[in-house]
């Protein structure tokens, strides 16, 4: 039963990673950049939700909507100001700019909310469901996280597959120039991608802090790196890959924490990633790109 409990908390953590990884993977697929500031957008989302519930006394659901709105705006503004001028630049230049944005967000949060940890109260309450006469305990946060992940996955798959904007996104990620020739507004498409990714980051931030309630300006860094790893794990640019990568990463992390070593869990997660990439260099669900001479 302990195993099942661990598996469930692994899936719960993995769902959060998956939601964050979706943001990475979509932005990578379209803008071909590693958005290192994504982890810090998560942190901003969590802070906004925290402020909305504790200072403005809004309902938890409304606080999530507010956090998503703020992060969406933030994501679009960041893209316009920092990334758009560099669209033709070398990918390393964009990477360093993203790191600059990440520093900026962390330090802005440090000034706004200080380094004192805020204790985040769960948006779905502290209750839990107990099955098998208390042998299996699933908290409401876990249920909400997994449900949110499933809903987001379905919605995104439908969005990219069925809508005009989604088709545009796939076209831009395939070939920016050709997409433009077909009358697709590349700038709008990239903005929408950042907007969706950042809104997802806000949701992920709220869910993450509901499960692990200490909120500091660096809250987003480590989950950001892990989710980025998850995105690569599953094959960066692939939406089902992000889900698979996130879930696997979460489960491996919790399992190694429970059965191998608390301190070495991160090392094990990264070691598995290395092994996977050596066997499948494009990630689990990534597409093989053939090299042309």
CA gap 18, 217 in Å, rounded: 21
* Cβ proximity of 165 and 26 under 8 Å: no
Q: Among 2-10, 108-116, 146-154, 207-215, which window interacts with another protein (CB under 8 A)?
A: 108-116
| Nearer to another protein among residue 108 and residue 151 (C-beta) | 108
Give helix then strand counts, H and E, for the chain.
11, 4
| Shortest distance (Å) from residue 119 CB to another protein | 24
100 contacts another protein (rule: CB under 8 A): yes
CA gap 52, 190 in Å, rounded: 29
| Shortest distance (Å) from residue 18 CB to another protein | 17
**Quick one: CA dihedral 67, 71, 72, 77, positive or negative?**
positive
Cβ neighbour number for residue 268 with a 10 Å cutoff = 16
CA gap 51, 173 in Å, rounded: 36
| Nearer to another protein among residue 214 and residue 267 (C-beta) | 267
* Cβ proximity of 47 and 41 under 8 Å: no
Q: Among 6-14, 42-50, 62-70, 269-277, which window interacts with another protein (CB under 8 A)?
A: 269-277
255 contacts another protein (rule: CB under 8 A): no
| Shortest distance (Å) from residue 67 CB to another protein | 22
Positions touching another protein (CB under 8 A) are 28, 34, 82, 85-86, 88-90, 92-93, 95-97, 99-101, 103-104, 107-108, 110-111, 221, 225, 228-229, 232, 236, 261, 263-264, 266-267, 270-271, 273-274, 277-278, 281-283, 291, 293
């Amino acid at each position: 039963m302990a195993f099942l409990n661990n598996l469930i908390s692994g899936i719960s953590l993995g769902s959060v990673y998956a939601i964050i990884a979706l943001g990475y993977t979509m932005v990578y697929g379209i803008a071909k950049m590693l958005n290192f500031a994504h982890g810090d957008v998560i942190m901003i989302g969590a802070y906004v939700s925290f402020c909305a519930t504790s200072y403005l006394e809004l309902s938890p659901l409304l606080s999530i909507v507010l956090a998503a709105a703020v992060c969406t705006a933030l994501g679009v503004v960041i893209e316009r100001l920092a990334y758009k001028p560099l669209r033709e630049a070398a990918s390393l230049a964009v990477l360093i700019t993203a790191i600059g944005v990440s520093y900026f967000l962390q330090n802005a949060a440090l000034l706004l909310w200080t380094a004192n940890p805020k204790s985040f109260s769960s948006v779905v309450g502290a209750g839990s469901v107990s099955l098998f006469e208390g042998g299996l305990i699933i908290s409401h946060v876990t249920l909400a996280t997994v449900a949110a992940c499933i809903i987001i996955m379905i919605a995104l798959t439908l969005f990219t597959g069925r809508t005009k904007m989604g088709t545009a996104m796939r076209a831009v990620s395939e070939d920016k120039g050709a997409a433009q020739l077909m009358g697709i507004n590349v700038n709008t498409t990239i903005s929408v991608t950042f907007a969706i990714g950042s809104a997802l980051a806000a949701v992920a931030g709220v869910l993450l802090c509901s499960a692990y309630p200490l909120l500091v300006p660096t809250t987003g860094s480590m989950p950001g790196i892990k989710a980025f790893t998850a995105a690569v794990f599953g094959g960066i640019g692939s939406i089902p890959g992000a889900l698979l990568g996130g879930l696997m990463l979460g489960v491996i992390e919790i399992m190694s924490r429970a059965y191998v070593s608390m301190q070495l869990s991160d090392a094990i997660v990264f070691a598995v990633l290395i092994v996977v990439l050596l066997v499948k260099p494009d990630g689990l669900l990534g597409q093989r790109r053939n090299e042309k001479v």
